[in-house]
Structure 1
Amino acid sequence: MKANTLEEAVALTKKFTSRPSNEDLLKLYGLYKQATEGDNETERPGGFDFKAAAKYNAWLNFKGLSKEEAANQYLELVNKLAESHL
C-alpha cells in the first residue's frame, strides 16, 4: 500500500501495526505541520514541557521549506515507514 496524497499518508500512519521511533515520529510531525501550516511562528513552549518542546523543535527544523516540498517529504517518509510498520 502506498500513499499518494497527504490525506492518504495520514490515514496510512493510523494503520501502522508497530510504532515508529521517536525520531521518525517527530520528523513526521514536523513535516506535517510545515506542509499544512508553513513556518512555525508559534511561541516556544515552557522549559519543563519536554514533549511540546520536542514537537516545536521538530517543526522548526523545516523552517523555510515550502508546503509542497514538506508534503512530498512527508509522503516519502510515510511510504518508507509503511514498509516496516504495516
Structure 2
Amino acid sequence: MIFGLENEFKGVEFKNLNENLCYLSLYFSNQGAGMSCKMLNQSEKKSLKIVDLYFGNRDGIDTIVTGHHKVRKLDNPKLWDDQE
C-alpha cells in the first residue's frame, strides 16, 4: 500500500441529493486496499458543513462502527444525532 506524500485524490463522484445536501466520494490514486473518502455535505448559511464522513477500507474503524462500505449509505444528515 502507498500512503505517502505521492498519494492524492484522483477520482470524484458527486451527487446532489436535494437543494442543500450533496454526496461526495473521493478516490485515492494509490488506493491500497480500496480506501476512499466519502462525505455528506450540507449547505447552511452560505457555508458547507460536513454532516457525515466515511473514511476507511474493509478493515477500517469506520467499517467496524458504521457498516461495510458497500452497504453503508451517506444520505442521512441526522445520523450522528441517533444515540444508538
- Per the TM superposition, whether the score is higher than 0.5 is no
Structure with max Cα Rg: 2
**TM-score (ref. length: structure 2):** 0.24
User: Counting strand residues as a fraction of each chain, which structure ranks higher?
Assistant: 2
**TM-score (ref. length: structure 1):** 0.24
